[in-house]
Chain A
Amino acid sequence: MHQARAIDLGVGLFILLGIGSVLFLLMQTMGLTGFISGNTYRLQARFDHVGDLKIRAPVAMAGVTIGRVAKITVDPIDFRALVEMQISLKYDYLPIDSDASIASSGLLGGKYVELQPGGDLEVLKDQDEIEFTQSAILLENLIGKYMLGGAKE
């Protein structure tokens, strides 16, 4: 009987550990962890082209992750990409004339949204839109332009 209880305990712990691991993996990949689930506010930005920016991509300022891309849609009126971002409430002091650009972390890294602070004293608030944006630089386009240009000469 004594031994049977030890076995039950071991098996119970094992199954908990296994399920815990599955949950850990799911949470890591779904972005349920970190400040994102804490208090955030929303910002929007319109880009001509987002490249392969994905949902949950980081939003960074000066290299520090301050938020995450929440939603990417096409605006039905001007047909530009509308990117919604969730920014941690800790960073509620971003100047209203900041600009957003889509950058990539290295050749193999993914795309992310980089915010450049402006100089205005007024700050961005929930549901505000960032006016100044710069689209993703498409590597293919650059290469294509360079090659075509080279061929013409």
Chain B
Amino acid sequence: MSGLVREGWLGFREFVGTFGAFQMFFFRLLPYLPKALLRPRLIIEQIYSIGVLSLVLIMFGGFFVGMVLALQSYSTLVEFGSADSLGAFAAEALVRELGPVVASLLFAGRACSAVASEVGLMRATEQISALELMAVDPIEHIIVPRFIAGVISVPLLAAIFSTIGMLGAYLVGVHLLGVDSGAFWSNIQVRVDMYEDVASGILKSFVFGVSASFMAVFEGYYAAPTAAGVSQAATRTVVIGSVWILLIDFILTGFMLPGV
């Protein structure tokens, strides 16, 4: 038991310790961003491999989360005679919370781990040194395109997740549970607010995209050049990335919810 506590303490210390390294790496990336956007070829390739290839998982996830959400909230709502609000309930939960958070978590597991191990393996097989020796900046060529691609992909994936989730909720709510179709949509329009809900959802997913993608390139770039180092980079990306997403979500929700 004390071993576990010790592990936890060490983990926590490391977590805090890497914070400084995060900052330094982040400020190293910043000046590259405008330049990278002028050469979109590499970014497009990365959007393909981390965004487009995550699409099926995200859509699948969104669909099922939406359906479960409808089933789950129906039983509660019907007791208060408010089954018509099912659509609004599901939509609000999806747009504000579940879309950004679950899509980002899925993204961290599917794409960020892949990026971390890919970059880590490039370091282990001396490809990063080879780039340096060919006078090609690995940060510009490897790191920044992956980072930007992640930042672009996550908000899009989150929006797709929410939309598909609403369709899932619609299918269950209207076709399975018999909620009136007009009431389903019109309640969404009344209850879900464009600025408060949709905009805050997009903002959240953007912030999650930045932190998850950053974790991936950071861990990959600083991976130890060994088999264990590469696998550890992938694991840490998913674990620390997910913790970050949940932590930031809590903070942002606190700031954004009116009256909290």
Contact = CB atoms under 8 A, between A and B. Distances in A.
A33 B185 contact: yes
Interface in A88-107: 105-107
Nearest to A33: B185
B191 A11 contact: no
A14 B189 contact: no
A77 interface: no
B186 A22 contact: no
Contact of A109 (B84, B166, B197): B84
Contacts of B84: 105-106, 109
A31 B192 CA distance: 10
B160 A17 contact: yes
Given A8-B44, A24-B163, A58-B186, A108 B194 contact: no
A56 interface: yes
A15 B156 contact: yes
Interface in B147-202: 153, 155-157, 159-160, 162-163, 166, 182-183, 185-194, 197-198, 201-202
Contacts of B44: 7-8, 11
A105 B85 contact: yes
B144 interface: no
Contact of A7 (B48, B95, B163, B166): B48
Interface size class of A (residues with CB under 8 A): 35 or more
Interface in A1-50: 7-8, 10-11, 13-15, 17-19, 21-22, 24-26, 28-31, 33-34
Contacts of B192: 28-29
Contact of A28 (B51, B85, B188): B188
Given A29-B198, A107-B80, A18 B159 contact: yes
Contacts of A26: 194, 198
B77 interface: yes
Contact of A107 (B81, B191, B193): B81
B191 A14 contact: no
Given A11-B51, A14-B52, A21 B189 contact: no
B78 to A, nearest CB: 9
Given A11-B47, A54-B190, A56-B189, A25 B95 contact: yes
Interface string A74-96: 00000000000000000000000
A112 to B, nearest CB: 8
B82 A58 contact: no
B55 interface: yes
A57 interface: yes
A29 B194 contact: yes
The interface residues of chain A, by DSSP majority, are classed as helix
A15 B47 CA distance: 9
B190 A58 contact: yes
B189 A19 contact: no
Contacts of A25: 95, 159, 162-163, 198, 201
A133 interface: no
A65 interface: yes
Interface in B37-55: 44-45, 47-48, 51-52, 55
B237 to A, nearest CB: 22
A10 B46 CA distance: 12
Given A28-B188, A58-B190, 20 more contacts: A10-B52, A14-B52, A14-B156, A15-B156, A17-B55, A18-B159, A24-B163, A25-B201, A28-B185, A28-B189, A30-B194, A34-B186, A65-B182, A105-B81, A105-B183, A106-B81, A106-B83, A108-B82, A109-B85, A110-B88
7 contacts: A14-B52, A29-B197, A30-B189, A34-B186, A105-B82, A106-B83, A110-B88
Interface of B: 44-45, 47-48, 51-52, 55, 77, 80-85, 88, 91, 95, 153, 155-157, 159-160, 162-163, 166, 182-183, 185-194, 197-198, 201-202
